[in-house]
């Protein structure tokens, strides 16, 4: 982390201003001023003259510098998603939902008087010998209607605990 003594004079004044005031100031700046702000915050020339793009990225950078960036886990998840979309990954990166129970866990739910058991697998879920990519797909097969799979099996609050 840089101390105030090592910052450039303009940068020090910019980072001492409250975040909301700095974000509001972006709307009042000309494109030329936005590009100058870009050079201060990114230490590179601005990539283009699109006002919307410059405002959006500068707003992100101001918040990132003041409040902190993405967590390591979030950055890793985004990298895996980008690799998966681009098909650039050399590895079989399976993106696991943190709400999923441990592999091998058996989820039991009674539906229409019948007890149904779904097993958590490494790459999805299994019910009655059939594989499903998502818990919602398994819940749909059991109930015949669309369900959030985590809620169907009583795991709905797991997401809130993560936050």
117 close to 127: Cβ distance less than 8 angstroms: yes
pTM: 0.43
Q: How far apart are CA 37 and CA 5, in angstroms?
A: 20
72 close to 51: Cβ distance less than 8 angstroms: no
pLDDT score for 82: 78
pLDDT score for 118: 95
Of 52, 143, 158, 51, give the one whose Cα is nearest residue 101: 158
**10-residue stretch averages of pLDDT, the chain, 163 residues long:** 44 64 94 94 89 93 88 83 68 60 90 94 90 91 93 71 46
Q: Residue 159 has what DSSP assignment?
A: H
pLDDT score for 4: 43
Structure tokens at 60: 């992100």
Q: Residue 125 has what DSSP assignment?
A: E
State whether residue 146 is helix, strand or coil: coil
């Amino acid at each position: 982390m840089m101390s105030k003594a090592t910052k450039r004079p303009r940068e020090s004044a910019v980072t001492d201003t409250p975040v909301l005031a700095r974000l509001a100031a972006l709307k009042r700046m000309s494109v030329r001023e936005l590009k100058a702000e870009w050079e201060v915050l990114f230490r590179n020339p601005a990539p283009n003259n699109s006002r919307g793009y410059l405002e959006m990225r500068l707003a992100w950078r101001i918040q990132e510098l003041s409040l902190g960036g993405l967590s390591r886990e979030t950055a890793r998840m985004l990298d895996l998603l980008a690799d998966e979309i681009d098909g650039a990954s050399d590895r079989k990166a399976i993106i696991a939902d943190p709400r999923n129970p441990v592999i091998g866990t058996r989820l039991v739910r009674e539906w229409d008087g019948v007890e149904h058991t779904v097993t958590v697998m490494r790459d999805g879920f299994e019910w009655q010998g059939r594989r499903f990519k998502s818990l919602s797909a398994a819940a749909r097969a059991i109930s015949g209607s669309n369900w959030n799979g985590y809620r169907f099996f009583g795991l709905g609050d797991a997401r809130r605990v993560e936050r």
